[in-house]
Amino acid sequence: MQANFLKVEGLSRVYPSVRGQAPLTVFDNVHFSIDQGEFVCIIGHSGCGKSTILNVLAGLDEPSAGLVFMDGREVSGPSLDRGVVFQGHTLMPWLSVMKNIAFAVKSRWPDWSRIKVSAHCQQFIDLVGLTGSEHKKPSELSGGMKQRVGIARAFAIQPKMLLLDEPFGALDALTRGVIQDELLKICAATAQTVFMITHDVDEAILLSDKIILMTNGPRARIAEIVRNTLPRDRSRSDIHKDPQYYRIRNHLVDFLVSRSRRMADVSAGEYDPRHPPEITLGLVEVVATEAVATIKQPALHLV
Amino acid sequence: MRPSLNLRAALVSLLLLGVLLLGWYVATLPQASKAVNVDPEYAALMGGGAVKKSGMPTPAEVGHTLIDKLAHPFYDHGPNDKGIGIQLAYSLARVLGGFALAALVAIPLGFVVGMSPIMQRALNPYIQLLKPISPLAWMPLALYTIKDSSASAIFVIFICSLWPMLINTAYGVAAVKRDWLNVAKTLEVSPLRKAFQVILPAAAPTILTGMRISMGIAWLVIVAAEMLVGGTGIGYFVWNEWNNLSLTNVIFAILMIGVVGMLLDALFAWMLRLVAYNE
């Protein structure tokens, strides 16, 4: 596993001033990195620039400053090396499930034979549990099924990295859980490197190895990076039985509810944007409330 | 069980047809010696008593013509006497010719306009200025430059079919969902493949709607254009029969124009269904 497979350095996004208004800095000097095979979630309130960061990683958007490297190369423009699952389903409604995926597969391997393409597509349709719906149009599918097709499409091109922009945001809780389980399974099987935006704390804990917390925008920055120390073979049914679970969860919820705002106001001080504080409170052998209390100290020397 | 909605609608349609035909029949009845409640002096003055026939043909006369003409649609007895099939074929050939030329220009140009905001702004004034001009206004210029009346009619069809197709193509292309273009981008799809496999199918319903509108207008305009250029075609036929004072033939021709126009529209409606998609 390659460490620092993806590196983000000094990323910022500034909207130029319009009609005399001050220029708007959405986020500023963001640094983080992702190891190969790591599943990273990013959490923050709307407007902190999560989606922009993802779009920059995807190559669909350009930062005002900063660089992104993947596998030692600078990211400039979209690439088949990074599969994207967008917020809404982005299937082409005139194509069947199979053809939607085949469109991506043919883009990746233009000289594959028709038979090879459809066999490859079938493999990923089966993987997301859509066997039997290959020839349905997206309009005939439920929201959850559409999102599965999107996931199958992203996995089918076997990208080096997967970018998920709140892929389950529009789904009901039940469907969401089922697809989360599937995603967990597929990621475990393929050792896929994933960067995912979410608003759902439980989802982040279930899926990720590392959770990036963003302060509120404008001038959003990475407040801290929480390492998810729960053992990796998690399941939705008993993850909450692990004592670490609530420690991490309380910490995240507490962050979203109050600290994300408070920390946005704190002037830089000891904060080093190149090394945002990394927190491994899951393993801290103290009572959960105490753990949170110590972390609330502004110094944050748990690096 | 109640009969289906379609059946009931068909019954009402037939009833309306019956009422219309009856009205027509009554209106064109020979006004024979009904001087009963007319002032006798006035009746005498108007040649009263003589059986007076309306100039308007009766339903029966039109029906006869209909059967006669449709029985031999393709005869050709010189420039002044051709079967209705031949006349309609001339008109259709002109319409299809002008329409095809317009599609060849409007659809690629519409793609350019739809994809490029600069071209959109640059061409918009021209489109806005040229669009409201009656296509027939171009006729003298066309006749002068092309020097061929039949080709001029095709040009007029070209000009009138151009705008709806151009505007709809540009709109359809510009309105393709960002998401789909982003998908194409992240998959590194080549521009040509993007145009044909993403933008074209996404914009196809809008483009075809433009083509349908164009075809409707072209079929309206061809009648007027052929009245002007003369020689052949359904428009010429109508004008010629007016000069012959044969209203029967005129009514017959009007019916035929309606039927062909309806079929053309149905053809486009069918094609539209083929490319339509549900989101």
- Point out the residue among A83, A86, A95 whose CB comes nearest to the CB of B182: A86
Q: Within 10 Å of residue A91's Cβ, how many Cβ atoms? A: 27
- Point out the residue among A84, A93, A107 whose CB comes nearest to the CB of B189: A107
Chain B CA closest to residue A154: B187
State the alpha helices, DSSP H only, in chain B: 5-27, 40-45, 59-71, 84-115, 117-130, 139-146, 149-174, 178-186, 191-194, 200-229, 234-243, 247-275
Can you give the pLDDT at residue A267?
Answer: 58
Note whether A80 and A65 are within 8 A (CB).
Answer: no
Can you give the pLDDT at residue A292?
Answer: 47
Note whether B274 and B211 are within 8 A (CB).
Answer: no
Q: Which region among A257-261, A263-267, B119-123 has the lowest average model confidence (pLDDT)?
A: A263-267
- Point out the residue among A60, A88, A93 whose CB comes nearest to the CB of B186: A60
- Point out the residue among B185, B193, B201 whose CB comes nearest to the CB of A78: B185
Cβ–Cβ of B201/A94 closer than 8 Å?
A: yes
Q: How far is A258 from chain B (nearest CA, A)?
A: 34
Cβ–Cβ of A78/B202 closer than 8 Å?
A: no
Rounded to the nearest 10°, the torsion over CA B7, B12, B15, B19 is: -160
Residue A268 has pLDDT above 70, yes or no: no
CA distance A179 to A167: 10
Q: Which of B212, B215, B187, B185 minimizes the C-alpha distance to B276?
A: B212
Can you give the pLDDT at residue B177?
Answer: 92
Cβ–Cβ of A60/B277 closer than 8 Å?
A: no
According to DSSP, the residues that pair with A278 across neighbouring strands are A225
Can you give the pLDDT at residue A178?
Answer: 84
Can you give the pLDDT at residue A23?
Answer: 85
Q: Give the pLDDT confidence of B137-171 residue by residue, as tens digits.
A: 999 999 999 999 889 999 999 999 999 999 999 99
- Point out the residue among B179, B202, B277 whose CB comes nearest to the CB of A88: B179
Q: How far is A74 from chain B (nearest CA, A)?
A: 16
Q: Give the pLDDT confidence of B184-230 residue by residue, as tens digits.
A: 999 999 999 999 999 999 999 999 999 999 999 999 999 999 999 88
Check residue B100 and give left, alpha or beta (phi > 0: left; psi -120 to 50: alpha).
alpha
Confidence band for A20, pLDDT divided at 50, 70 and 90: confident
Instruction: Using an 8 Å CB-CB cutoff, list chain A residues near B189.
Output: 107
Q: Give the pLDDT confidence of B226-270 residue by residue, as tens digits.
A: 999 888 999 999 999 999 889 999 999 999 999 999 999 999 999
Can you give the pLDDT at residue B257?
Answer: 96
CA distance A163 to A196: 6
Confidence band for B37, pLDDT divided at 50, 70 and 90: low
SS3 A79: coil
Domains of chain B: 5-54 (no CATH), 84-278 (1.10.3720.10)
- Point out the residue among B186, B188, B279 whose CB comes nearest to the CB of A93: B279
How high is the ipTM of this complex?
0.82
Cβ–Cβ of A139/B278 closer than 8 Å?
A: yes
Q: What is the mean pLDDT of chain B?
A: 90
Can you give the pLDDT at residue B263?
Answer: 97
Q: Within 10 Å of residue A208's Cβ, how many Cβ atoms? A: 23
Q: How far is A16 from chain B (nearest CA, A)?
A: 21
Q: For Cα atoms A299, A201, A182, give the angle at the middle one, nearest 5 degrees.
A: 135
CA distance B21 to B11: 15
Of the ranges A170-184, A192-206, B86-100, which is most confident?
B86-100
Cβ–Cβ of B188/A84 closer than 8 Å?
A: no
Q: Which region among A48-62, A216-230, B224-238, B260-274 has the lowest average model confidence (pLDDT)?
A: A216-230
Cβ–Cβ of B186/A79 closer than 8 Å?
A: yes
Q: For Cα atoms A289, A292, A293, give the angle at the middle one, nearest 5 degrees.
A: 85
What pTM value is reported for the model?
0.83
Residue B202 structure tokens: 């996404």
Instruction: Using an 8 Å CB-CB cutoff, list chain A residues near B198.
Output: 92
Q: How far is CA A178 from CA A171, A173, A181, A272, B88, in A?
A: 11, 9, 5, 39, 63
Cβ–Cβ of A103/B197 closer than 8 Å?
A: yes
Can you give the pLDDT at residue A7?
Answer: 92
Instruction: Using an 8 Å CB-CB cutoff, list chain B residues near A83.
Output: 186
Chain A CA closest to residue B276: A94
Cα A2 versus chain centre, distance: 19
Q: Within 10 Å of residue B74's Cβ, how many Cβ atoms? A: 10
Note whether A214 and A160 are within 8 A (CB).
Answer: no
| Percentage of the residues of chain B whose pLDDT score is greater than 90 | 74
